[in-house]
Structure 1
Amino acid sequence: MKRYTLSEIPHLVHGRTNGETEPLTLFWTASGLEVNVRASELWVELHAEWSLYEPWFSFEINGEFFSRRMAAQGTERVCVFRGMNPDAVKNVRIIKDTQAMSADPESVLQICALETDGTFEPVEPRALKLEFIGDSITSGEGDIGAKAEEDWISMFFSAQNNYAVMTGRALNADIRVLSQSGWGIGCSWDNNPHGAIPPVYEEVCGLLNGSKNEALGAHRANDFAAWQPDYVFINLGTNDCGSFSQPMWRDEKNGETFQNRREPDGSFNAADIARLQEKVIAFLKTLRRCNPGAKLVWILGMLGVELAPAIKAAVERYRAETGDTRAEFLALTDDLPNRGCRNHPGVGAHRTAAAELTAYIRAQ
């Protein structure tokens, strides 16, 4: 057995990074490392820390899910496989199963090194690149575990059961996922305006807090030139919709308040919808500036469609105002029979969404 740092072997990195591989920090859902190895045995050296929400990770071998486990505190060696045919090349992916935890500034997962009794082969880059931006749905919350589960813990997040990962697997694409449970376009589910994805999009992982994440480069400007997607799918709006039914948010420190309101008849307040639509248009402009060659597709529907007409109208207005015909809205199926735990889309619902997106891309 020989230990290799990542700079010593051919590999592919999936997900946004800080540009460093010694060690490789896995910030986002479905971020990870891919290698081809001709060996009978492979181990990975991981480093993990957290105070509230432990990271989970999983292994794929030759394109199939193989195992999943919770990371241990500190540095550990974990066996990926052993006793396999030493002459056969295995494609291996080591994937972060859980989202970036904005509520836990101590949460981190890193790949430090690999150990094997064999040799590494080159890994072909993917021709198709897909970026997914979203909330708990795109983080895979509730897509694993029994329907009765209600605990908000990292164990019930799974990248493997995620529609984004499934779509990438079906199309042999390189994917990136940027998502955070509870967050939205203009605010989080509870009307907190600081729980919005667009303001942090241009940083490596701008929603993370604490000095540790800052030192790891989470707040560095993302290098968009290094990785340009062919499609950007924006699955945001579910939490904004929910915020219209929540009380006003108030910051106890400075008195700041925010609320999306409903009228007495239950309809959305027109001024609040107009403000939300402006944020949709502004975010599409940011996405176009950062990803000039990508098709921008706003998707919604896996967990309700009440806000879909307003978002679709905003996308159409963006097209009309900018002349950008490579932006559109796509409705997804709310697969109610396949709900998972925490009343979120389950693995079956993610399969439904992945099939719809795969068909959409193949039809282009």
Structure 2
Amino acid sequence: MQKYKLGKHEVRVCGKAVETDTGIELVHSGSFIEFYGEISKVSMEISGNADESDFAAYVGVFLNESDTPEKVWKIQNGLHHYEICWASEKKNTTVKIMKLTEVQYGAVQINSVDTDGSIKPTEAKERKLLFIGDSITAGYGVNGEQSDPIFTTKTEDVTKAYPYLTAKKVSADPWYICWSGGGIISRWISPETELPLTDILMPELFETGKDLDFIPNLISINLGTNDASYTRDDMGRKEEFAARYLTFVQRISAVYPHAHILLQYGLMERTLLPVIQEVAKECSRQGVKCSFLELPLMNKKDGMGIGEHPSVVTHKKTAEILKEKILEIMDWKE
């Protein structure tokens, strides 16, 4: 067996990840490493730092570009040894290790890979999509049921959310900046609360999550669902939201000037839909390559995840809608 201390020369890295002295830390949802080789035996040393077992990070092991993971690991505290595959014969195998949970739910650092053959990084895809969003983008609660009383990271999976499914459909590398409860001017607040919750807002998260090594062709944004818990029917709050959202899109366009920006809304609630439509129009009037996609309100007959979040069925239907829009905007063939 040969031990590889991981760096970007040994494996392909996609998504927000950090190369450290001891390996590669997967940060945001959907970040992954990928490699291939004539191998039959693969294992890894991975370390985690979850404070609570119910909120540990999860990773998925995907072999040979499978749509479903071969294994899903709950990453425990400390350094542990994880076995990926142990076959009797060597064959050309592609291995992808992807973080399924969000940045706030524990770190995942891959320190080394042991194989019985040499490995090389896979090639990046030509098409690239950046997804900016909240719990919907992160796949919050998608593995649970509406009747489940409490969210745990076991019920979250970014690969079952519509952005990931869309990237698969159009054969693009995805990059995610998402945070459950995140918003433009406020995180989610309860109905009895009047003050906005501003400790973690998406414009700040974007600044820490951007990376100019990844240049997206299109940037997909679905935000506002959590802001709506604060804006309600208050016109002044809606105007503040619109102004801040406009500034945010302008900032994104300044960082990625050649990318088309597609704003979406409507999946979980619709009160801010006309506001976001107007933001997209104003961005376009100001010369930003920006458009809007109205998403259909989810149907409870399709099932519901935890916290009345979209189900697997809803995410699949939404991915088909977003796929068609992206193919139209980018003039791509499926």
> Could you tell me which residue of structure 1 aligns to residue 98 of structure 2?
95
| CA separation of 1:301 and 1:8: change in aligned 2, threshold 3 A | closer
| CA separation of 1:89 and 1:296: change in aligned 2, threshold 3 A | same
Deviations 1:160-206 (A, max 9, x none): 212222122222211111111111111111120233201231123xx
- Confirm or deny: 8 A CA contact 2:137 2:163 kept in the other structure: yes
Which structure 1 residue ranges, 5 or more long, are not aligned? Answer: 205-221, 244-259, 263-267
Deviations 1:214-255 (A, max 9, x none): xxxxxxxx442x211111111100001122xxxxxxxxxxxx
Please identify runs of 4+ aligned residues in structure 1 that moved more than 4 A: none
Q: Among residues 256, 261, 264, which one is paired with 1:291 in the alignment?
A: 256
> Could you tell me which residue of structure 1 aligns to residue 171 of structure 2?
172
Q: Among residues 65, 79, 84, which one is paired with 2:83 in the alignment?
A: 79
Q: Among residues 281, 284, 287, which one is paired with 2:246 in the alignment?
A: 281
Deviation at 1:9, TM superposition (A): 5.5
SS at 2:257 equivalent: coil
| CA separation of 1:316 and 1:68: change in aligned 2, threshold 3 A | same
> Could you tell me which residue of structure 2 aligns to residue 240 of structure 1?
227
Q: Among residues 204, 216, 222, which one is paired with 1:229 in the alignment?
A: 216
With the length of structure 1 as denominator, give the TM-score of the two structures: 0.83
- Cα distance in 2 for partners of 1:84, 1:197 equals 48
| CA separation of 1:70 and 1:309: change in aligned 2, threshold 3 A | same
Query: Identity of counterpart residues, as a percentage?
Result: 24
> Could you tell me which residue of structure 2 aligns to residue 334 of structure 1?
297
With the length of structure 2 as denominator, give the TM-score of the two structures: 0.90
1:196 partnered with 2:195: no
Instruction: Return the letter of the residue paired with 1:241.
Output: A
Instruction: Return the letter of the residue paired with 1:196.
Output: L
SS at 1:18 equivalent: strand
Instruction: Return the letter of the residue paired with 1:55.
Output: A
> Could you tell me which residue of structure 2 aligns to residue 154 of structure 1?
153
- Cα distance in 1 for partners of 2:8, 2:279 equals 48
> Could you tell me which residue of structure 1 aligns to residue 192 of structure 2?
none
| CA separation of 1:120 and 1:21: change in aligned 2, threshold 3 A | farther
- Confirm or deny: 8 A CA contact 1:48 1:72 kept in the other structure: yes
- Cα distance in 2 for partners of 1:17, 1:72 equals 19
SS at 2:167 equivalent: helix
Which structure 2 residue ranges, 5 or more long, are not aligned? Answer: 190-195
Deviation at 1:278, TM superposition (A): 0.1
- Confirm or deny: 8 A CA contact 1:142 1:156 kept in the other structure: yes
- Confirm or deny: 8 A CA contact 1:161 1:350 kept in the other structure: yes
> Could you tell me which residue of structure 2 aligns to residue 265 of structure 1?
none
Deviation at 1:110, TM superposition (A): 0.6
1:362 partnered with 2:309: no
Deviation at 1:28, TM superposition (A): 0.5
Q: Among residues 288, 300, 310, which one is paired with 1:345 in the alignment?
A: 310
- Confirm or deny: 8 A CA contact 2:50 2:76 kept in the other structure: no
Counterparts of residues 36-75 of structure 1 (less than 5 Å): 36-52=36-52, 53-64=55-66, 65=68, 66-75=70-79
> Could you tell me which residue of structure 2 aligns to residue 312 of structure 1?
277
Deviations 1:253-293 (A, max 9, x none): xxxxxxx3x4xxxxx22111111100111001110011111
Q: Which moved more, 1:173-182 or 1:188-197?
A: 188-197
- Cα distance in 2 for partners of 1:69, 1:10 equals 22
| CA separation of 1:315 and 1:155: change in aligned 2, threshold 3 A | same
Deviation at 1:20, TM superposition (A): 4.2
SS at 1:144 equivalent: coil
- Cα distance in 2 for partners of 1:84, 1:186 equals 55
| CA separation of 1:330 and 1:163: change in aligned 2, threshold 3 A | same
Deviation at 1:50, TM superposition (A): 1.8
Instruction: Return the letter of the residue paired with 2:201.
Output: A
Q: Which moved more, 1:91-100 or 1:147-156?
A: 147-156
- Cα distance in 2 for partners of 1:11, 1:345 equals 34
| CA separation of 1:271 and 1:139: change in aligned 2, threshold 3 A | same
- Confirm or deny: 8 A CA contact 1:39 1:84 kept in the other structure: no
SS at 1:178 equivalent: strand
- Cα distance in 2 for partners of 1:122, 1:70 equals 25
Deviations 1:313-361 (A, max 9, x none): 12212222x122x101111223323322221011111111211122222
Instruction: Return the letter of the residue paired with 2:131.
Output: F
SS at 1:119 equivalent: coil
Deviations 1:54-76 (A, max 9, x none): 11111111222222121121111
- Over the aligned positions, Cα root-mean-square deviation in angstroms equals 1.8
Deviation at 1:307, TM superposition (A): 1.1
- Cα distance in 1 for partners of 2:296, 2:21 equals 39
SS at 2:42 equivalent: strand
- Cα distance in 1 for partners of 2:115, 2:178 equals 33
| CA separation of 1:84 and 1:185: change in aligned 2, threshold 3 A | farther
